[in-house]
Structure 1
Amino acid sequence: MIDETRSWGIDVPLAVADAGYGVPPLSASAWRNGICPYAVGVSGRHTAHPADARPVQPAYAGTGRPPKVQYPEPAQTMKDLVVAVGKAAARPVSWREGSRPGKGRSGFKRMYSRFVALRVRPAGRGIRKVADDPELPERWLPTEWPANESEPVQFWLSSLPSGMPLATLVRLAKLRWRIEHDYREMKQALGLAHFEGRTWSGWHHRVTLVSAAHAFCILQRLARDPKEPVPV
Protein backbone atom coordinates (compact mmCIF):
# COMPACT_ATOMS: atom_id res chain seq x y z
CA MET A 1 0.00 0.00 0.00
CA ILE A 2 2.86 2.38 0.79
CA ASP A 3 4.57 1.56 -2.52
CA GLU A 4 1.32 2.18 -4.41
CA THR A 5 0.81 5.50 -2.63
CA ARG A 6 4.31 6.59 -3.62
CA SER A 7 3.62 5.54 -7.24
CA TRP A 8 0.89 8.22 -7.27
CA GLY A 9 3.52 10.85 -6.46
CA ILE A 10 2.41 11.17 -2.83
CA ASP A 11 5.18 11.23 -0.23
CA VAL A 12 4.78 9.09 2.90
CA PRO A 13 6.41 11.20 5.65
CA LEU A 14 6.21 8.57 8.41
CA ALA A 15 5.01 5.00 8.94
CA VAL A 16 3.73 4.30 12.46
CA ALA A 17 2.97 0.75 13.61
CA ASP A 18 2.38 -1.28 16.74
CA ALA A 19 4.63 -4.03 18.07
CA GLY A 20 3.24 -6.53 15.55
CA TYR A 21 5.55 -4.90 12.98
CA GLY A 22 8.46 -4.52 15.38
CA VAL A 23 9.09 -8.22 16.00
CA PRO A 24 12.46 -9.64 14.95
CA PRO A 25 11.57 -12.28 12.30
CA LEU A 26 12.86 -11.65 8.79
CA SER A 27 9.51 -10.48 7.42
CA ALA A 28 9.19 -7.68 9.96
CA SER A 29 12.86 -6.74 9.60
CA ALA A 30 12.48 -6.49 5.83
CA TRP A 31 9.35 -4.37 6.29
CA ARG A 32 11.21 -1.97 8.57
CA ASN A 33 14.19 -1.73 6.23
CA GLY A 34 11.94 -1.15 3.23
CA ILE A 35 10.32 2.07 4.43
CA CYS A 36 11.80 5.25 5.80
CA PRO A 37 11.18 6.88 8.12
CA TYR A 38 9.23 4.78 10.60
CA ALA A 39 8.40 4.50 14.30
CA VAL A 40 7.33 1.02 15.42
CA GLY A 41 6.69 -0.53 18.80
CA VAL A 42 9.07 -3.28 19.93
CA SER A 43 9.52 -5.55 22.92
CA GLY A 44 12.25 -4.79 25.43
CA ARG A 45 13.35 -8.42 25.02
CA HIS A 46 14.67 -7.77 21.51
CA THR A 47 18.40 -7.30 21.23
CA ALA A 48 20.65 -4.51 20.01
CA HIS A 49 24.20 -3.18 20.20
CA PRO A 50 25.10 0.30 21.43
CA ALA A 51 25.44 2.84 18.65
CA ASP A 52 29.21 3.11 19.12
CA ALA A 53 29.74 -0.65 18.68
CA ARG A 54 31.69 -1.61 15.55
CA PRO A 55 32.12 -5.03 13.88
CA VAL A 56 35.64 -6.49 13.66
CA GLN A 57 37.31 -9.15 11.57
CA PRO A 58 38.39 -12.09 13.77
CA ALA A 59 41.85 -13.51 13.19
CA TYR A 60 42.01 -16.31 10.62
CA ALA A 61 43.40 -19.58 11.98
CA GLY A 62 44.54 -20.70 8.54
CA THR A 63 42.14 -23.62 8.16
CA GLY A 64 38.52 -23.81 7.10
CA ARG A 65 36.47 -20.86 6.04
CA PRO A 66 37.65 -17.40 7.09
CA PRO A 67 35.48 -16.07 9.94
CA LYS A 68 32.87 -13.46 9.10
CA VAL A 69 33.00 -9.92 10.36
CA GLN A 70 31.14 -9.77 13.66
CA TYR A 71 30.59 -7.63 16.72
CA PRO A 72 33.07 -8.51 19.48
CA GLU A 73 30.50 -8.23 22.27
CA PRO A 74 27.15 -10.06 22.34
CA ALA A 75 24.01 -8.02 21.77
CA GLN A 76 22.02 -6.98 24.84
CA THR A 77 18.30 -6.72 25.28
CA MET A 78 16.92 -3.26 24.61
CA LYS A 79 15.61 -3.16 28.14
CA ASP A 80 19.09 -3.82 29.55
CA LEU A 81 20.58 -1.08 27.38
CA VAL A 82 18.11 1.45 28.76
CA VAL A 83 18.44 0.23 32.36
CA ALA A 84 22.23 0.61 32.08
CA VAL A 85 21.78 4.30 31.28
CA GLY A 86 19.70 4.71 34.42
CA LYS A 87 16.37 6.21 35.39
CA ALA A 88 18.04 9.57 36.00
CA ALA A 89 18.51 9.93 32.22
CA ALA A 90 14.74 10.03 31.65
CA ARG A 91 13.31 13.44 30.75
CA PRO A 92 9.68 14.63 31.07
CA VAL A 93 7.81 15.02 27.77
CA SER A 94 4.22 16.06 27.04
CA TRP A 95 2.79 14.83 23.75
CA ARG A 96 -0.97 15.40 23.48
CA GLU A 97 -4.20 16.40 25.17
CA GLY A 98 -5.81 13.88 27.46
CA SER A 99 -9.48 13.38 28.25
CA ARG A 100 -9.45 14.75 31.80
CA PRO A 101 -10.46 18.36 32.47
CA GLY A 102 -7.58 20.76 33.06
CA LYS A 103 -6.69 24.41 33.28
CA GLY A 104 -4.98 24.67 29.90
CA ARG A 105 -6.20 26.62 26.89
CA SER A 106 -8.09 23.63 25.51
CA GLY A 107 -9.72 22.78 28.84
CA PHE A 108 -8.02 19.36 29.04
CA LYS A 109 -4.90 18.13 30.78
CA ARG A 110 -1.96 17.19 28.58
CA MET A 111 -0.49 13.69 28.67
CA TYR A 112 3.07 13.48 29.91
CA SER A 113 5.59 10.94 31.12
CA ARG A 114 9.36 10.47 31.29
CA PHE A 115 11.40 9.13 28.36
CA VAL A 116 14.90 7.99 27.46
CA ALA A 117 16.08 7.99 23.83
CA LEU A 118 19.18 5.97 22.89
CA ARG A 119 20.93 5.39 19.61
CA VAL A 120 21.30 1.63 19.07
CA ARG A 121 21.99 -0.95 16.36
CA PRO A 122 19.16 -3.54 16.38
CA ALA A 123 20.53 -7.08 16.22
CA GLY A 124 19.12 -10.50 15.38
CA ARG A 125 19.50 -13.05 12.61
CA GLY A 126 16.64 -11.64 10.54
CA ILE A 127 18.08 -8.14 10.59
CA ARG A 128 21.55 -9.41 9.66
CA LYS A 129 20.09 -11.25 6.67
CA VAL A 130 18.34 -8.12 5.43
CA ALA A 131 21.30 -5.77 5.99
CA ASP A 132 23.77 -5.56 3.09
CA ASP A 133 26.52 -4.21 5.32
CA PRO A 134 28.24 -6.06 8.20
CA GLU A 135 27.71 -2.89 10.23
CA LEU A 136 24.13 -2.92 11.50
CA PRO A 137 22.07 0.24 10.84
CA GLU A 138 21.79 2.79 13.62
CA ARG A 139 18.32 3.56 14.95
CA TRP A 140 16.53 5.47 17.70
CA LEU A 141 15.27 3.57 20.74
CA PRO A 142 12.75 5.90 22.46
CA THR A 143 11.67 4.36 25.77
CA GLU A 144 9.01 5.35 28.26
CA TRP A 145 10.14 5.16 31.88
CA PRO A 146 7.56 6.77 34.21
CA ALA A 147 8.73 8.28 37.47
CA ASN A 148 6.67 5.79 39.51
CA GLU A 149 8.04 2.70 37.71
CA SER A 150 11.18 0.80 38.66
CA GLU A 151 11.95 -0.13 35.03
CA PRO A 152 11.04 0.97 31.48
CA VAL A 153 7.51 0.13 30.33
CA GLN A 154 7.38 0.74 26.56
CA PHE A 155 9.88 0.67 23.70
CA TRP A 156 9.95 1.84 20.08
CA LEU A 157 12.40 1.71 17.17
CA SER A 158 12.63 4.61 14.78
CA SER A 159 14.67 5.47 11.69
CA LEU A 160 14.13 9.21 12.15
CA PRO A 161 17.28 11.38 11.78
CA SER A 162 19.87 11.32 14.54
CA GLY A 163 19.35 14.97 15.45
CA MET A 164 15.63 14.57 16.15
CA PRO A 165 14.56 16.20 19.46
CA LEU A 166 13.25 13.90 22.19
CA ALA A 167 9.85 15.62 22.30
CA THR A 168 9.35 15.05 18.56
CA LEU A 169 10.37 11.39 18.83
CA VAL A 170 7.85 10.83 21.60
CA ARG A 171 4.99 12.62 19.84
CA LEU A 172 5.52 10.61 16.66
CA ALA A 173 5.91 7.28 18.48
CA LYS A 174 2.75 7.96 20.48
CA LEU A 175 0.87 8.89 17.31
CA ARG A 176 -0.24 5.27 16.98
CA TRP A 177 -2.85 5.86 19.69
CA ARG A 178 -4.22 8.87 17.81
CA ILE A 179 -4.55 6.80 14.62
CA GLU A 180 -6.50 4.10 16.48
CA HIS A 181 -8.68 6.76 18.10
CA ASP A 182 -9.43 8.45 14.77
CA TYR A 183 -10.21 5.13 13.09
CA ARG A 184 -12.65 4.26 15.88
CA GLU A 185 -14.21 7.71 15.55
CA MET A 186 -14.62 7.26 11.79
CA LYS A 187 -16.30 3.89 12.28
CA GLN A 188 -18.60 4.76 15.18
CA ALA A 189 -19.19 8.50 15.46
CA LEU A 190 -18.99 9.28 11.72
CA GLY A 191 -20.74 6.15 10.47
CA LEU A 192 -18.09 4.32 8.43
CA ALA A 193 -19.04 0.97 10.01
CA HIS A 194 -22.78 1.53 9.45
CA PHE A 195 -22.68 1.27 5.66
CA GLU A 196 -24.71 -1.67 4.31
CA GLY A 197 -24.52 -1.06 0.55
CA ARG A 198 -23.09 -3.52 -1.94
CA THR A 199 -21.85 -1.36 -4.81
CA TRP A 200 -18.38 0.10 -5.26
CA SER A 201 -19.78 3.54 -6.08
CA GLY A 202 -21.90 3.50 -2.92
CA TRP A 203 -18.94 2.48 -0.75
CA HIS A 204 -16.73 5.13 -2.38
CA HIS A 205 -19.38 7.77 -1.71
CA ARG A 206 -19.63 6.78 1.95
CA VAL A 207 -15.85 6.78 2.46
CA THR A 208 -15.60 10.21 0.82
CA LEU A 209 -18.21 11.70 3.14
CA VAL A 210 -16.68 10.15 6.25
CA SER A 211 -13.19 11.33 5.22
CA ALA A 212 -14.48 14.87 4.74
CA ALA A 213 -16.14 14.80 8.16
CA HIS A 214 -12.95 13.43 9.71
CA ALA A 215 -10.90 16.20 8.08
CA PHE A 216 -13.26 18.74 9.64
CA CYS A 217 -12.71 17.14 13.07
CA ILE A 218 -8.93 17.34 12.58
CA LEU A 219 -9.15 21.05 11.70
CA GLN A 220 -11.13 21.66 14.88
CA ARG A 221 -8.49 19.79 16.89
CA LEU A 222 -5.70 21.84 15.33
CA ALA A 223 -7.58 25.04 16.14
CA ARG A 224 -7.46 24.01 19.82
CA ASP A 225 -3.82 22.89 19.77
CA PRO A 226 -1.73 23.70 16.65
CA LYS A 227 1.27 21.76 18.01
CA GLU A 228 -0.50 18.43 18.20
CA PRO A 229 0.66 16.01 15.45
CA VAL A 230 -2.04 14.75 13.13
CA PRO A 231 -1.98 11.36 11.32
CA VAL A 232 -1.35 11.54 7.58
Structure 2
Amino acid sequence: MRLGEVERLRGELSEFVADVFASLPRWDQRRWGGCYLRGLMLDGRRKSIQPMAERLPDGNMQALQQFVNQSPWDPLLVRRRIAERLCEAIRPEVWVVDDVSFPKCGTASVGVTRQYCGALGKRANCQVAVSVHAATDTASCPLEWELFLPEEWAADRVRRQRAGVPDGVEHLSKGRLALGLLDRLAGQGLTVPVIVADAGYGRSVSFRLELECRGWSYVMAVDPKEVARPAAAEPYQPAYGGLGPPTLPRYRESAQPLTSFVTPNTAFEQVVWRQGSKGRMTSRFAVIEVRPSGKEACRTAQEQAGGRNRWNGVLPLRTLLVEQPEDADELGYWMTNLPAIVTAAQAFLTLRRLDPKAHTPA
Protein backbone atom coordinates (compact mmCIF):
# COMPACT_ATOMS: atom_id res chain seq x y z
CA MET A 1 0.00 0.00 0.00
CA ARG A 2 1.08 3.59 -0.58
CA LEU A 3 1.61 5.99 2.29
CA GLY A 4 -1.55 7.96 1.53
CA GLU A 5 -3.67 4.81 1.51
CA VAL A 6 -2.27 3.75 4.89
CA GLU A 7 -2.82 7.20 6.36
CA ARG A 8 -6.48 7.16 5.28
CA LEU A 9 -6.92 3.97 7.28
CA ARG A 10 -5.24 5.36 10.36
CA GLY A 11 -8.43 5.61 12.39
CA GLU A 12 -9.42 2.01 11.74
CA LEU A 13 -5.85 0.86 12.36
CA SER A 14 -5.87 2.65 15.71
CA GLU A 15 -8.95 0.68 16.76
CA PHE A 16 -7.34 -2.56 15.60
CA VAL A 17 -4.10 -1.79 17.49
CA ALA A 18 -6.01 -0.90 20.66
CA ASP A 19 -7.69 -4.31 20.50
CA VAL A 20 -4.87 -6.69 19.55
CA PHE A 21 -2.19 -4.86 21.58
CA ALA A 22 -4.41 -4.40 24.64
CA SER A 23 -2.21 -6.84 26.59
CA LEU A 24 0.86 -4.58 26.25
CA PRO A 25 1.44 -2.88 29.61
CA ARG A 26 2.64 0.56 28.40
CA TRP A 27 1.11 3.13 26.05
CA ASP A 28 4.42 3.70 24.23
CA GLN A 29 4.60 -0.01 23.38
CA ARG A 30 1.13 0.16 21.86
CA ARG A 31 2.13 3.32 19.97
CA TRP A 32 5.19 1.72 18.37
CA GLY A 33 3.22 -1.45 17.77
CA GLY A 34 0.86 0.58 15.59
CA CYS A 35 3.78 2.25 13.84
CA TYR A 36 5.38 -1.12 13.13
CA LEU A 37 2.09 -2.40 11.70
CA ARG A 38 1.84 0.56 9.31
CA GLY A 39 5.43 -0.09 8.23
CA LEU A 40 4.56 -3.68 7.33
CA MET A 41 1.60 -2.50 5.25
CA LEU A 42 3.58 0.01 3.19
CA ASP A 43 4.99 -0.88 -0.21
CA GLY A 44 8.63 -1.88 -0.19
CA ARG A 45 10.58 -5.08 -0.68
CA ARG A 46 12.51 -4.94 2.59
CA LYS A 47 10.48 -5.19 5.80
CA SER A 48 13.34 -4.83 8.26
CA ILE A 49 13.40 -2.00 10.80
CA GLN A 50 15.61 0.58 9.06
CA PRO A 51 13.87 0.75 5.66
CA MET A 52 10.43 0.72 7.31
CA ALA A 53 11.41 3.58 9.64
CA GLU A 54 12.63 5.58 6.64
CA ARG A 55 9.31 5.15 4.81
CA LEU A 56 7.17 6.30 7.77
CA PRO A 57 6.75 10.04 8.53
CA ASP A 58 6.81 9.24 12.27
CA GLY A 59 9.30 6.36 11.97
CA ASN A 60 12.03 6.05 14.56
CA MET A 61 14.52 3.25 13.96
CA GLN A 62 15.71 3.06 17.57
CA ALA A 63 12.20 3.00 19.02
CA LEU A 64 11.00 0.37 16.55
CA GLN A 65 14.12 -1.72 17.16
CA GLN A 66 13.48 -1.64 20.89
CA PHE A 67 9.81 -2.52 20.43
CA VAL A 68 10.66 -5.59 18.35
CA ASN A 69 13.80 -6.85 20.10
CA GLN A 70 14.10 -5.54 23.65
CA SER A 71 10.73 -4.33 24.91
CA PRO A 72 9.29 -6.75 27.55
CA TRP A 73 5.89 -7.76 26.17
CA ASP A 74 4.41 -11.19 25.55
CA PRO A 75 3.84 -11.85 21.81
CA LEU A 76 1.74 -14.94 22.53
CA LEU A 77 -1.03 -12.80 24.03
CA VAL A 78 -1.06 -10.61 20.92
CA ARG A 79 -1.11 -13.63 18.59
CA ARG A 80 -3.91 -15.16 20.65
CA ARG A 81 -6.12 -12.11 20.15
CA ILE A 82 -5.31 -12.00 16.43
CA ALA A 83 -6.25 -15.69 16.08
CA GLU A 84 -9.56 -15.04 17.83
CA ARG A 85 -10.36 -12.13 15.51
CA LEU A 86 -9.40 -14.05 12.39
CA CYS A 87 -11.53 -17.07 13.27
CA GLU A 88 -14.48 -14.79 13.96
CA ALA A 89 -13.99 -13.09 10.59
CA ILE A 90 -13.52 -16.01 8.20
CA ARG A 91 -15.08 -18.96 10.13
CA PRO A 92 -12.45 -21.50 8.95
CA GLU A 93 -13.53 -24.82 7.48
CA VAL A 94 -10.06 -26.35 7.85
CA TRP A 95 -6.80 -25.67 9.63
CA VAL A 96 -3.75 -26.17 7.41
CA VAL A 97 -0.49 -27.37 8.96
CA ASP A 98 2.36 -26.30 6.71
CA ASP A 99 6.00 -25.19 6.49
CA VAL A 100 6.81 -21.60 5.61
CA SER A 101 10.37 -20.90 4.44
CA PHE A 102 12.37 -17.67 4.45
CA PRO A 103 15.38 -17.61 2.08
CA LYS A 104 18.51 -16.10 3.66
CA CYS A 105 21.88 -15.04 2.29
CA GLY A 106 23.80 -15.17 5.57
CA THR A 107 24.04 -17.73 8.39
CA ALA A 108 23.55 -15.58 11.50
CA SER A 109 19.73 -15.54 11.67
CA VAL A 110 18.23 -18.04 14.10
CA GLY A 111 17.66 -21.48 12.59
CA VAL A 112 19.27 -20.76 9.22
CA THR A 113 20.72 -23.84 7.54
CA ARG A 114 20.77 -25.49 4.15
CA GLN A 115 17.45 -27.30 3.86
CA TYR A 116 14.46 -27.60 1.54
CA CYS A 117 13.07 -24.13 0.85
CA GLY A 118 9.46 -24.13 -0.33
CA ALA A 119 9.70 -20.50 -1.44
CA LEU A 120 12.41 -21.46 -3.94
CA GLY A 121 11.36 -25.07 -4.63
CA LYS A 122 14.81 -26.49 -3.85
CA ARG A 123 17.40 -26.92 -1.09
CA ALA A 124 18.82 -23.57 -0.10
CA ASN A 125 19.96 -21.46 2.82
CA CYS A 126 16.79 -20.55 4.71
CA GLN A 127 14.79 -20.46 7.91
CA VAL A 128 11.69 -22.66 8.23
CA ALA A 129 8.68 -22.02 10.42
CA VAL A 130 5.92 -24.49 11.23
CA SER A 131 2.54 -22.79 10.85
CA VAL A 132 -1.18 -23.35 11.33
CA HIS A 133 -3.50 -21.46 8.98
CA ALA A 134 -7.25 -21.02 9.03
CA ALA A 135 -8.65 -21.55 5.55
CA THR A 136 -11.83 -21.53 3.50
CA ASP A 137 -12.41 -21.59 -0.25
CA THR A 138 -11.89 -17.83 -0.39
CA ALA A 139 -9.52 -16.93 2.47
CA SER A 140 -6.42 -18.08 4.32
CA CYS A 141 -4.73 -16.49 7.31
CA PRO A 142 -2.07 -17.54 9.85
CA LEU A 143 -3.18 -18.39 13.37
CA GLU A 144 0.07 -19.65 14.92
CA TRP A 145 3.65 -20.32 13.86
CA GLU A 146 6.99 -21.21 15.41
CA LEU A 147 10.52 -21.22 14.06
CA PHE A 148 12.08 -24.64 13.50
CA LEU A 149 15.47 -25.00 15.22
CA PRO A 150 17.69 -27.55 13.40
CA GLU A 151 19.78 -30.01 15.43
CA GLU A 152 23.03 -28.32 14.41
CA TRP A 153 21.78 -25.12 16.04
CA ALA A 154 20.56 -26.83 19.20
CA ALA A 155 24.03 -28.31 19.85
CA ASP A 156 26.04 -25.17 19.03
CA ARG A 157 26.14 -23.13 22.24
CA VAL A 158 28.25 -20.30 20.81
CA ARG A 159 25.97 -19.86 17.81
CA ARG A 160 22.89 -19.88 20.04
CA GLN A 161 24.32 -17.17 22.30
CA ARG A 162 25.25 -14.93 19.37
CA ALA A 163 21.75 -15.18 17.92
CA GLY A 164 20.02 -14.79 21.30
CA VAL A 165 18.35 -18.22 21.40
CA PRO A 166 17.04 -18.80 24.98
CA ASP A 167 18.52 -21.74 26.89
CA GLY A 168 15.13 -23.43 27.20
CA VAL A 169 14.58 -23.63 23.43
CA GLU A 170 15.55 -27.06 22.09
CA HIS A 171 15.38 -28.91 18.79
CA LEU A 172 11.93 -30.39 18.21
CA SER A 173 10.67 -32.22 15.15
CA LYS A 174 8.26 -30.30 12.95
CA GLY A 175 5.51 -32.70 13.96
CA ARG A 176 6.03 -31.95 17.67
CA LEU A 177 6.07 -28.21 16.92
CA ALA A 178 2.80 -28.53 14.98
CA LEU A 179 1.15 -30.45 17.82
CA GLY A 180 2.24 -27.75 20.26
CA LEU A 181 0.71 -25.03 18.08
CA LEU A 182 -2.55 -26.96 17.70
CA ASP A 183 -2.72 -27.61 21.45
CA ARG A 184 -2.15 -23.91 22.10
CA LEU A 185 -4.96 -22.87 19.74
CA ALA A 186 -7.36 -25.47 21.15
CA GLY A 187 -6.47 -24.31 24.66
CA GLN A 188 -7.66 -20.82 23.73
CA GLY A 189 -11.16 -22.20 23.26
CA LEU A 190 -11.08 -22.09 19.45
CA THR A 191 -13.09 -24.78 17.68
CA VAL A 192 -10.74 -27.19 15.90
CA PRO A 193 -12.05 -27.98 12.39
CA VAL A 194 -10.66 -30.66 10.06
CA ILE A 195 -6.85 -30.51 9.99
CA VAL A 196 -5.13 -30.91 6.61
CA ALA A 197 -1.44 -31.25 5.76
CA ASP A 198 0.86 -32.46 3.02
CA ALA A 199 2.96 -35.61 3.14
CA GLY A 200 5.68 -33.87 5.14
CA TYR A 201 3.37 -34.33 8.14
CA GLY A 202 0.94 -37.00 6.94
CA ARG A 203 3.62 -39.65 6.37
CA SER A 204 4.24 -39.59 10.13
CA VAL A 205 1.82 -42.19 11.52
CA SER A 206 2.60 -41.03 15.06
CA PHE A 207 1.53 -37.48 14.15
CA ARG A 208 -1.82 -38.71 12.82
CA LEU A 209 -2.32 -40.89 15.88
CA GLU A 210 -1.63 -37.93 18.18
CA LEU A 211 -4.40 -36.01 16.42
CA GLU A 212 -6.77 -38.95 16.87
CA CYS A 213 -5.94 -39.18 20.58
CA ARG A 214 -7.02 -35.55 20.89
CA GLY A 215 -10.31 -36.31 19.13
CA TRP A 216 -9.51 -34.25 16.03
CA SER A 217 -10.36 -35.07 12.41
CA TYR A 218 -7.76 -34.85 9.67
CA VAL A 219 -7.13 -35.33 5.94
CA MET A 220 -3.42 -35.76 5.15
CA ALA A 221 -1.26 -36.74 2.21
CA VAL A 222 0.58 -40.01 2.91
CA ASP A 223 3.45 -42.00 1.45
CA PRO A 224 2.19 -44.55 -1.13
CA LYS A 225 4.62 -47.05 0.42
CA GLU A 226 2.70 -47.01 3.71
CA VAL A 227 1.18 -50.44 4.38
CA ALA A 228 -2.42 -51.38 5.18
CA ARG A 229 -4.87 -54.26 5.00
CA PRO A 230 -8.28 -54.42 3.31
CA ALA A 231 -11.34 -53.32 5.27
CA ALA A 232 -12.75 -56.86 5.17
CA ALA A 233 -9.62 -58.42 6.71
CA GLU A 234 -10.26 -60.10 10.06
CA PRO A 235 -7.71 -61.40 12.57
CA TYR A 236 -7.78 -64.98 13.82
CA GLN A 237 -6.52 -66.59 17.01
CA PRO A 238 -3.80 -69.21 16.37
CA ALA A 239 -3.98 -72.40 18.43
CA TYR A 240 -1.95 -72.35 21.61
CA GLY A 241 1.01 -74.72 21.43
CA GLY A 242 1.26 -75.23 25.18
CA LEU A 243 4.65 -73.54 25.64
CA GLY A 244 5.44 -69.94 26.37
CA PRO A 245 2.98 -67.03 26.50
CA PRO A 246 -0.40 -67.25 24.76
CA THR A 247 -0.33 -66.55 21.04
CA LEU A 248 -1.67 -63.19 19.89
CA PRO A 249 -4.33 -62.61 17.23
CA ARG A 250 -2.96 -62.07 13.73
CA TYR A 251 -4.07 -61.49 10.16
CA ARG A 252 -3.74 -64.15 7.48
CA GLU A 253 -3.18 -61.49 4.81
CA SER A 254 0.12 -59.63 4.73
CA ALA A 255 -0.02 -55.85 4.84
CA GLN A 256 0.33 -54.27 1.39
CA PRO A 257 1.42 -50.81 0.20
CA LEU A 258 -1.36 -48.34 -0.49
CA THR A 259 -0.67 -48.55 -4.22
CA SER A 260 -1.97 -52.15 -4.24
CA PHE A 261 -5.48 -50.98 -3.34
CA VAL A 262 -5.88 -49.24 -6.71
CA THR A 263 -6.80 -51.69 -9.47
CA PRO A 264 -8.22 -51.35 -12.99
CA ASN A 265 -11.67 -51.85 -11.43
CA THR A 266 -11.31 -49.00 -8.94
CA ALA A 267 -14.16 -46.54 -9.41
CA PHE A 268 -13.05 -42.91 -9.68
CA GLU A 269 -15.51 -40.04 -9.47
CA GLN A 270 -15.06 -36.91 -11.58
CA VAL A 271 -15.19 -33.70 -9.54
CA VAL A 272 -15.47 -30.12 -10.79
CA TRP A 273 -14.96 -27.50 -8.12
CA ARG A 274 -14.80 -24.17 -9.94
CA GLN A 275 -14.19 -22.32 -13.19
CA GLY A 276 -10.57 -21.28 -13.55
CA SER A 277 -8.87 -18.87 -15.92
CA LYS A 278 -8.09 -21.73 -18.32
CA GLY A 279 -11.40 -23.56 -17.99
CA ARG A 280 -13.03 -25.87 -15.50
CA MET A 281 -10.81 -27.15 -12.67
CA THR A 282 -11.36 -30.89 -12.25
CA SER A 283 -9.89 -34.08 -10.87
CA ARG A 284 -10.96 -37.63 -10.10
CA PHE A 285 -11.23 -39.32 -6.71
CA ALA A 286 -11.73 -42.81 -5.30
CA VAL A 287 -12.71 -43.54 -1.68
CA ILE A 288 -11.43 -46.82 -0.19
CA GLU A 289 -11.64 -48.18 3.35
CA VAL A 290 -8.38 -49.67 4.69
CA ARG A 291 -6.79 -50.74 7.96
CA PRO A 292 -3.38 -49.00 8.40
CA SER A 293 -0.98 -51.68 9.61
CA GLY A 294 2.43 -50.18 10.33
CA LYS A 295 4.27 -50.78 13.60
CA GLU A 296 3.07 -47.55 15.16
CA ALA A 297 -0.56 -48.26 14.24
CA CYS A 298 -0.34 -51.73 15.82
CA ARG A 299 1.39 -50.45 18.93
CA THR A 300 -1.20 -47.72 19.45
CA ALA A 301 -4.06 -50.21 18.99
CA GLN A 302 -2.49 -52.40 21.68
CA GLU A 303 -2.10 -49.45 24.05
CA GLN A 304 -5.70 -48.37 23.55
CA ALA A 305 -6.86 -51.91 24.31
CA GLY A 306 -5.08 -51.82 27.66
CA GLY A 307 -1.98 -53.79 26.73
CA ARG A 308 -0.56 -56.29 24.29
CA ASN A 309 -2.32 -59.31 25.80
CA ARG A 310 -5.73 -57.61 25.88
CA TRP A 311 -5.74 -56.57 22.23
CA ASN A 312 -8.15 -58.52 20.01
CA GLY A 313 -5.98 -57.89 16.96
CA VAL A 314 -8.49 -55.67 15.13
CA LEU A 315 -6.91 -52.65 13.45
CA PRO A 316 -9.15 -49.58 13.10
CA LEU A 317 -10.70 -48.60 9.78
CA ARG A 318 -9.52 -45.46 8.04
CA THR A 319 -10.54 -43.85 4.76
CA LEU A 320 -8.04 -43.73 1.91
CA LEU A 321 -8.62 -41.04 -0.71
CA VAL A 322 -6.90 -41.60 -4.04
CA GLU A 323 -6.62 -38.69 -6.47
CA GLN A 324 -6.10 -39.24 -10.19
CA PRO A 325 -5.37 -35.79 -11.66
CA GLU A 326 -6.01 -35.40 -15.37
CA ASP A 327 -2.71 -33.58 -15.96
CA ALA A 328 -0.42 -35.87 -13.90
CA ASP A 329 0.80 -39.43 -14.29
CA GLU A 330 1.13 -40.21 -10.60
CA LEU A 331 -1.73 -40.77 -8.18
CA GLY A 332 -2.10 -38.85 -4.93
CA TYR A 333 -2.83 -40.70 -1.68
CA TRP A 334 -4.55 -39.13 1.32
CA MET A 335 -5.54 -40.69 4.65
CA THR A 336 -8.37 -39.47 6.87
CA ASN A 337 -10.17 -40.58 9.99
CA LEU A 338 -13.41 -39.16 8.59
CA PRO A 339 -15.90 -41.92 7.74
CA ALA A 340 -16.00 -43.33 4.23
CA ILE A 341 -19.52 -41.94 3.75
CA VAL A 342 -17.80 -38.61 3.02
CA THR A 343 -18.31 -38.24 -0.71
CA ALA A 344 -15.43 -37.85 -3.12
CA ALA A 345 -16.62 -34.34 -3.96
CA GLN A 346 -16.57 -33.25 -0.31
CA ALA A 347 -13.15 -34.77 0.21
CA PHE A 348 -11.75 -33.09 -2.86
CA LEU A 349 -13.03 -29.67 -1.90
CA THR A 350 -11.40 -30.10 1.51
CA LEU A 351 -8.07 -30.97 -0.08
CA ARG A 352 -8.20 -28.01 -2.48
CA ARG A 353 -7.81 -25.72 0.53
CA LEU A 354 -4.35 -27.18 1.06
CA ASP A 355 -2.59 -24.68 -1.23
CA PRO A 356 0.97 -23.99 -0.01
CA LYS A 357 1.13 -20.77 -2.04
CA ALA A 358 -1.75 -19.34 -0.03
CA HIS A 359 -0.23 -19.85 3.42
CA THR A 360 2.39 -17.29 4.40
CA PRO A 361 2.51 -15.54 7.80
CA ALA A 362 1.93 -11.80 7.64
Same fold (TM over 0.5): yes
Percent identical: 33
Residue in 2 aligned with 1:158?
336
The 3 A distance-change label for structure 1 pair 88 and 129 is closer
* Counterpart residue identity of residue 169, structure 1: A
SS in 1 for 2:288: strand
Check the 8 A contact 2:291/2:315 in 1, yes or no: yes
Residue in 2 aligned with 1:123?
293
More relative contact order in 1 or in 2 (CA 8 Å, sep 6+)?
1
Residue in 2 aligned with 1:183?
359
Residue in 1 aligned with 2:233?
53
Counterparts of 2:238 and 2:328, CA distance in 1: 41
* Counterpart residue identity of residue 296, structure 2: G
The 3 A distance-change label for structure 1 pair 21 and 96 is farther
Counterparts of 1:76 and 1:11, CA distance in 2: 36
SS in 1 for 2:262: helix
Structure number with bigger Rg: 2
Compute the displacement of 1:41 (Å): 0.3
Residue in 1 aligned with 2:249?
69
Which of 19, 23, 27 in structure 1 is aligned with 2:203?
A: 23
Check the 8 A contact 1:44/1:79 in 2, yes or no: yes
Q: For structure 1, which runs of at least 5 residues remain unmatched after alignment?
A: 102-108, 193-232
Check the 8 A contact 1:24/1:46 in 2, yes or no: no
TM-align CA RMSD: 2.3
Instruction: Report how many residues are paired.
Output: 172
Which of 104, 128, 135 in structure 1 is aligned with 2:314?
A: 135
* Counterpart residue identity of residue 230, structure 2: P
Compute the displacement of 1:88 (Å): 5.2
Counterparts of 1:73 and 1:88, CA distance in 2: 20
Compute the displacement of 1:113 (Å): 1.4
CA deviation map 1:27-76 (0-9, x unaligned): 33433433521000001111111112122211111111211112221111
State TM-score, norm by structure 2.
0.44
After TM superposition, list the pairs within 5 Å mapping 1:141-220 onto structure 2: 141-146=320-325, 153-177=331-355, 180-184=356-360, 192=362
Counterparts of 2:317 and 2:266, CA distance in 1: 24
Compute the displacement of 1:147 (Å): 5.5
The 3 A distance-change label for structure 1 pair 5 and 63 is same
* Counterpart residue identity of residue 322, structure 2: T
State TM-score, norm by structure 1.
0.66
The 3 A distance-change label for structure 1 pair 87 and 174 is farther
SS in 1 for 2:242: coil
Residue in 2 aligned with 1:91?
269
